[in-house]
């Protein structure tokens, strides 16, 4: 009678998997290779990736001039660490000296259930109320969060969706995050809001329409940027915006340029030239909240 092949135990994390030969543990990061525990992902070195012509994100593609990160010893997180909570030392601790300063790089990995993705959707369109659930294939994977600098923001992932809900919810959340991070398109639906297709590096598709343009800022910001170019060409500029509408003759930029009042009045809650400093409602002169 042949004996069953011997499983060996991985002790890289508290799960302590017994792994049969040729198999991986529960996390797929460690495997039993002929009776030896090995890592399944290679350690990625930036310099090796560049030499090998592998795909890297653009910020790392430029020439490194300041030498703040030594090119030969910049270890990425991929394949370099063990798990969290980590009672063993990280398997890769890289030391070097840069301009006389000691540099130590230690990389570990966070468990996936703690991961999240913040998605910046470059559109002026209203995607849904803040806090509204974002769904993929009907499963909740995140929510609409605070808009930032005019872009709509989604918060995807996190422990409540990855491990706190149903199996389908966790699986689809995980798949959506992976797809987003790998630059793939993901279809989403906001409760009480829009349907979306988002993909890194591509304009979002909102309710079936691909986004083509986006405003550079609110009406006040636009006036701040362009007031000097408009000066002398027109008598007045009103930048209508759903956040803050700007009126150049009343705006501080207009005041600085000596723009004469034109008498055009905009309905809405106005800020005034003598706005109370620090008031959340009064951002700067020449704005009307519509
Ligand atoms: S690191 Fe992975 S393979 Fe090793 S014990 Fe933990 S879950 Fe299992």
For ligand 1, mutation pick of 26, 28, 113 (most atoms within 8 Å of CB): 26
- Which range marks the domain in which residue 12 is found? 8-39
Do residues 125 and 167 share a domain? yes
Do residues 236 and 189 share a domain? no
Do residues 77 and 158 share a domain? no
- Residue where a domain stops, chosen among 210, 228, 263: 210
Do residues 91 and 118 share a domain? no
Do residues 258 and 231 share a domain? yes
CA distance 237 to 249: 8
Residue 80 placed within a domain: yes
For ligand 1, mutation pick of 7, 83, 87, 112 (most atoms within 8 Å of CB): 83
pLDDT value at residue 268: 80
pLDDT value at residue 289: 40
Show the tokens assigned to 243: 């956040």
Task: Judge whether 190 and 133 are in contact, CB under 8 Å.
Answer: yes
pTM, full prediction? 0.65
Residue 2 placed within a domain: no
Q: Which ligand 1 atom minimizes the distance to the CA of 29?
A: 2
Distances (CA, A) of 244 to 40, 44, 76, 226, 255: 53, 47, 42, 16, 18
Residues of the chain with pLDDT under 70: 1-5, 43, 57-92, 107-111, 271-290
Do residues 156 and 76 share a domain? no
Do residues 269 and 197 share a domain? no
Ligand 1 pocket (Cβ < 6 Å) reads 10, 12-13, 15-17, 25-27, 29-30, 83
pLDDT value at residue 53: 82
- Which residues lie across from 266 on neighbouring strands? none
- Residue where a domain stops, chosen among 180, 210, 240: 210
Find all residues with CB under 8 Å of 139, minimum gap 6, and list them.
Answer: 165, 166, 168, 169, 172, 173
Do residues 97 and 149 share a domain? no
How many distinct structural domains can be found in the chain? Answer: 4
């Amino acid at each position: 009678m042949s004996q069953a092949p011997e499983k060996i135990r991985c002790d890289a994390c508290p799960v302590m998997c017994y792994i049969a030969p040729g198999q991986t543990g529960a996390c797929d990061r460690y495997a039993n290779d002929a009776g030896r525990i090995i890592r399944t992902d290679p350690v990625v070195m930036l310099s090796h990736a560049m030499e090998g012509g592998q795909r890297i994100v653009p910020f790392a593609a430029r020439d490194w001039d300041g030498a703040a990160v030594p090119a030969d010893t910049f270890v990425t997180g991929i394949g370099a660490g063990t798990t969290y909570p980590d009672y063993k030392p990280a398997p890769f601790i890289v030391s070097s000296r840069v301009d006389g300063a000691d540099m130590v790089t230690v990389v570990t990995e966070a468990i996936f259930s703690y991961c999240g993705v913040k998605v910046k959707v470059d559109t002026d369109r209203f995607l849904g109320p803040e806090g509204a659930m974002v769904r993929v294939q009907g499963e909740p994977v995140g929510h609409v969060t605070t808009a930032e600098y005019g872009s709509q923001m989604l918060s995807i992932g996190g422990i409540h969706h990855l491990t706190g809900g149903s199996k389908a919810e966790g699986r689809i959340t995980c798949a959506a995050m992976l797809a987003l991070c790998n630059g793939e398109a993901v279809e989403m639906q906001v409760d009480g809001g829009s349907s979306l297709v988002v993909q890194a590096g591509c304009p979002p598709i909102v309710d079936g329409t691909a986004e083509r343009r986006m405003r550079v800022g609110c009406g006040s910001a636009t006036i701040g940027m362009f007031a000097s170019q408009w000066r002398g060409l027109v008598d007045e500029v009103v930048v209508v915006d759903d956040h803050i509408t700007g009126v150049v003759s009343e705006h501080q930029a207009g005041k600085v340029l000596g723009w004469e009042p034109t008498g055009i009045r905009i309905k809405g809650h106005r800020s005034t030239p003598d706005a109370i400093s620090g008031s959340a409602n009064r951002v700067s002169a020449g704005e009307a909240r519509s």
